Amino acid sequence: MSEESWDLPSPSPSPPHRPWALWIVGALVVAVLGAGALAYFGVISLPFAAGLFAGDAAPTSTDASSTALDGPADLDAASAGADTDTDGVSGDDSSADSPAEPLGPDAELRRLLRAVSTSRRLRAWASADGILKRLVAATWLVAQGRSPRAVVSFLEIEGDFTVLDRKDGIFVDPASYRRYDAFAQAVRTIDAEALGRGYAELRPHVDAAFAEVSTRGERFDDVLARALRRLVAVRVPKGDIALVERGAIFLFQDGDLEAMSDAEKHLLRMGPTNARRVQRTLRAFGRAAGLL
């Protein structure tokens, strides 16, 4: 079963709603903006990404209980508190009171995120070990149109994604998009222009990580710019999104949507409202960083 397809079970005559598993697409933005995680580079076939971690201990994700966005409470909190500094994550934020970290690559990234967002959720994501290398690997994948999900596995959203089986066809159930509301709200808290300006401080670190495995002469800025352009150019459809059944999977009925890359399809699956919010943040970041 291909990664790029909507991996849904075949419909039966009833009932009208059917669950299916969907991987998180939020990683697309988190990777570009500076948060992500890698669970098992040793068991996936990503030579570029594996090269980044050669000689490193196998990195681990942060505790799923503090990072996963799979509970109803997360979604309710996100929708109820659009402009709060918690965006659905409970508990004290101890990072502001903790001793100053040595400003290595990961610490520099975390410091920048604290300066541009009050989101505790983003700070939890950024606490993953080797966060900057994950940023580089995931951005490289997105720039190629590939799915970054293997390197951001801790962002997977649990729960069912449903479709509507109507007389006029099969459609994505809009209610399913709400699973991504908490992620989109966390992204919304980012001062994207400030992050774009602050990216210059990270450039030496990302260039050093990228130089370990990149083709000579290739710059990470070029890779990041390609990833940004790919995502902000996605045409987010309005209205219902029709699907067609192909054996055990569903495909987009719209041929233009189905022809999109894996990375672009991930963004679509967030739903139109969330996808456009993400695109606005990416566009503002890219312009401020001089990449768009």
| pLDDT score recorded for residue 146 | 95
Q: Does 28 score more than 60 pLDDT?
A: no
Identify the pLDDT of residue 235: 94
pLDDT at 225: 98
Q: What does the pLDDT look like over 127-186, one tens digit per residue?
A: 888 888 888 888 999 999 999 887 776 666 766 778 999 999 999 999 889 988 988 898
Which pLDDT value is given to residue 8? 40
> pLDDT at position 72, please?
30
Of 232, 210, 187, nearest in space to 134 by CA: 210
* Total-model pTM: 0.69
pLDDT at position 99 is 57
CA angle, residues 64, 132, 5, in degrees to nearest 5: 60
Query: Is the confidence at residue 62, as pLDDT, over 80?
Result: no
Mean pLDDT within 244-264 = 92
pLDDT band at 200; cut points 50, 70, 90: very high
Average pLDDT over residues 60-73: 34
Q: Using CA atoms, how far apart are residues 161 and 16, in angstroms rounded to an integer?
A: 13
Q: Which residues, other chains included, contact 115 with Cβ-Cβ below 8 Å and sequence gap of 6+?
A: 194, 198
E strands in 122-241: 161-166, 169-172
Mean pLDDT of 101-126: 86
Distance from C-alpha of 171 to C-alpha of 241, rounded to nearest angstrom: 6
